[in-house]
């Protein structure tokens, strides 16, 4: 793998991590707003978003460990 390919992969990994963190943060915000407004659907959507972000983070951690 060339240096350029490694740099592209590193940039892609960093972008994936940032997107996962953003999804988690939005999920937490949805959960808090849903709880504060007694909107059970929004709260559930927030928890779902956090769960998806957690799964993606776990996958990224496995990928990092194998690299």
pLDDT in tens, the chain (67 residues): 788 888 998 899 999 999 999 999 999 999 999 999 999 999 999 999 999 999 999 999 998 899 7
- Whether 2 maps to a domain, the answer reads no
Q: Which domain holds residue 62?
A: 24-67
- Cα torsion 60, 54, 30, 48 to 10°: value is 120
The Cα–Cα gap between 4 and 28 comes to 36
Please tell me the predicted confidence (pLDDT) of residue 5. 87
Domain count, the chain: 1
Q: Which residues of 12-31 are buried (b: 16+ CB within 10 A; e: fewer)?
A: eeeeeeeebeebbeebeebb
Q: What is the pTM of this model?
A: 0.85
- Whether 58 maps to a domain, the answer reads yes
- Whether 15 maps to a domain, the answer reads no
- Whether 47 maps to a domain, the answer reads yes
């Amino acid at each position: 793998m060339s240096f350029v390919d490694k740099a592209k992969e590193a940039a892609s990994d960093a972008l994936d991590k940032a997107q996962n963190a953003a999804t988690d943060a939005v999920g937490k915000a949805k959960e808090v707003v849903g709880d504060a407004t007694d909107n059970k659907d929004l709260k559930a959507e927030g928890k779902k978003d956090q769960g998806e972000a957690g799964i993606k983070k776990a996958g990224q951690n496995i990928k990092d460990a194998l690299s």
